[in-house]
C-alpha cells in the first residue's frame, strides 16, 4: 500500500452501570476512603452486573468502535480480544464476541498479556493488516476483575474494576497512523502479578478454593519498582528510535494502574509537556481495557487533533511493556 499506514479509524468503550465509590470499598477492606484516594487517586470504579461477563462488555465497546469507524461487523477481517479474565478457559472470548457481533468473516483469537495486552494486540493487528488494501482489524481490551478480587487484600481490592475498550484499525494516509511499536517481556518477574490456581500446574480443587488460589494477587512494591525502572526508558527509547523526542509528544495515554505511579512515570520519562489522559479516578484500573478506554475518551472529547503525536503505553503482568506512537489522523 504505497502512501498508506495502518492507523486507528474508530474507537469505543463501555463501562458497567454500577458505580462503586471509595466509601463502599473502604468498608469492605478495612481502610478509609481518603486512604484509597491518597494512595491511588481513584475515587470510584465500575463493577459488572451479575448478568455481565467479559464478552458482554467487549461487545458493547466493539459496537461503538464500529459505529464510529462507519463499518459493519462483516467488514472486519480479524478480531482480537485482549483479556486475562475471559468468560471461560475455553472457548476463546473472541469467538463469543464474534458470534454476538455477527462478524463471521473475521479470523479471531485472544491475547493474554494482562495490562499490556491491548498494545500487543494492536501490533499484531498492524502486522496482519499492513500491505493489505481495505483490511480492517477490530482490537478489544476487556477485563472483569471484580470477580477475582480478594476483598480481604487491600493492595488489590482498592485498585481494580471492570470495563472494555476497542479500536478499529485500517489503512490511513501517510503521515498518519502507527509510526512504531516496541514490546518488552520480562519473564524473570513473572511472580509479581499472578492468579495461582486454575491452570494445569495447580488445577482447581477443594484445596485451591479454600486457600483463595483463584484470586488475583500482586506484589505492589515490586510492580512499582519494575515500572519506575523499565517503563520510562521504554518510552524514550521508542521516541528516539523514531527520531521523535518525547518532548514532541502531544498526548500520553497510559495504562491506568495507579495515579501516583503515573505521575512518577510522566516525570521520569520527560513527558510533562504532553497531556496525560487519565480515567482511573472514575473507573479504576480496568486491566487491558485501560489504554483503549482512555484513548476513546480522549478521542470522543475532541482532545486529539489531526497530526497530534499520541503515545500509548501498557505495562503489567508478565512482566510486560507495550509502547506505541501514532500520528493521529483521519481515515483514507
Using the structure block, give the residue that is written with the C-alpha cell 462483516.
Answer: 74
pLDDT band at 3 (very low <50, low <70, confident <90, very high): confident
Percent of the chain's residues with pLDDT above 70: 98
How do residues 277-293 score in pLDDT, each as one tens digit? 999 999 999 999 999 99
Mean pLDDT for the stretch of residues 213-228? 96
Examine the residue annotation and report whether 135 is marked as an active-site residue of this protein: no
- Which member of 255, 258, 277, 299 is catalytic? 255
Mean pLDDT for the stretch of residues 208-231? 96
How do residues 240-270 score in pLDDT, each as one tens digit? 999 999 999 999 999 999 999 999 999 999 9
Q: How far is CA 154 from each of CA 35, 158, 286, 314, rounded to the nearest angstrom?
A: 11, 6, 17, 23
Hey, which residues does 177 pair with through a beta bridge?
Answer: 327
Examine the residue annotation and report whether 255 is marked as an active-site residue of this protein: yes
What region does 246 belong to: left with phi over 0, alpha with psi -120 to 50, or beta? alpha
Examine the residue annotation and report whether 108 is marked as an active-site residue of this protein: no
CB-CB contact of 54 with 85 (8 Å): yes
Mean pLDDT for the stretch of residues 39-54? 97
**Residue 139 CB neighbours (<10 A):** 29
- Which member of 115, 251, 277, 299 is catalytic? 115
Residues with Cβ within 8 Å of 130's Cβ and at least 6 positions away in sequence, in order, are 1, 6
Question: What are the grid coordinates assigned to 191, written together?
Answer: 511472580
- Which member of 108, 258, 277, 285 is catalytic? 285
Mean pLDDT for the stretch of residues 162-191? 97
Can you give the pLDDT at residue 280?
A: 97
Question: What are the grid coordinates assigned to 129, written together?
Answer: 493488516
Amino acid at each position: 500500500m504505497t502512501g498508506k499506514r495502518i492507523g486507528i479509524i474508530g474507537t469505543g468503550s463501555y463501562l458497567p452501570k454500577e458505580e462503586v465509590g471509595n466509601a463502599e470499598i473502604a468498608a469492605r477492606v478495612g481502610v478509609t476512603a481518603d486512604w484509597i484516594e491518597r494512595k491511588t487517586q481513584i475515587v470510584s470504579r465500575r463493577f459488572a452486573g451479575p448478568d455481565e461477563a467479559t464478552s458482554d462488555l467487549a461487545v458493547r465497546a466493539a459496537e461503538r468502535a464500529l459505529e464510529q469507524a462507519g463499518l459493519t461487523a462483516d467488514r472486519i477481517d480479524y478480531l482480537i480480544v485482549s483479556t486475562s479474565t475471559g468468560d471461560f478457559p475455553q472457548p476463546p472470548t473472541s469467538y463469543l464476541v464474534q458470534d454476538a457481533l455477527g462478524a463471521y468473516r473475521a479470523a479471531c483469537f485472544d491475547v493474554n498479556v494482562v495490562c499490556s495486552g491491548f498494545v500487543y494486540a494492536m501490533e499484531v493487528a498492524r502486522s496482519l493488516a499492513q500491505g493489505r488494501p481495505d483490511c480492517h482489524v477490530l482490537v478489544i481490551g476487556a477485563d472483569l476483575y471484580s470477580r477475582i478480587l480478594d476483598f480481604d487484600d487491600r493492595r488489590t481490592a482498592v485498585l481494580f474494576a471492570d470495563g472494555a475498550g476497542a479500536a478499529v484499525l485500517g489503512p490511513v494516509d501517510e503521515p498518519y497512523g502507527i509510526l512504531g511499536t516496541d514490546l518488552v517481556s520480562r519473564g524473570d518477574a513473572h511472580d509479581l502479578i499472578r492468579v495461582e490456581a486454575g491452570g494445569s500446574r495447580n488445577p482447581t480443587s477443594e484445596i485451591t478454593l479454600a486457600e483463595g488460589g483463584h484470586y488475583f494477587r500482586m506484589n505492589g512494591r515490586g510492580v512499582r519498582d519494575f515500572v519506575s525502572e523499565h517503563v520510562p526508558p521504554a518510552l524514550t527509547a521508542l521516541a528516539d528510535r523514531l527520531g521523535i523526542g518525547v518532548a514532541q509528544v502531544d498526548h500520553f495515554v497510559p495504562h491506568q494502574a495507579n495515579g501516583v505511579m503515573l505521575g512518577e512515570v510522566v516525570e521520569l520519562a520527560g513527558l510533562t509537556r504532553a497531556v496525560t489522559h487519565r480515567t482511573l479516578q472514575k473507573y479504576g484500573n480496568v486491566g487491558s481495557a485501560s489504554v483503549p478506554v482512555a484513548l476513546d475518551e480522549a478521542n470522543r472529547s475532541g482532545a486529539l487533533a489531526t497530526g497530534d503525536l499520541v503515545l500509548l503505553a501498557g505495562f503489567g503482568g508478565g512482566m510486560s511493556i507495550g509502547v506505541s506512537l501514532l500520528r493521529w489522523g483521519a481515515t483514507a
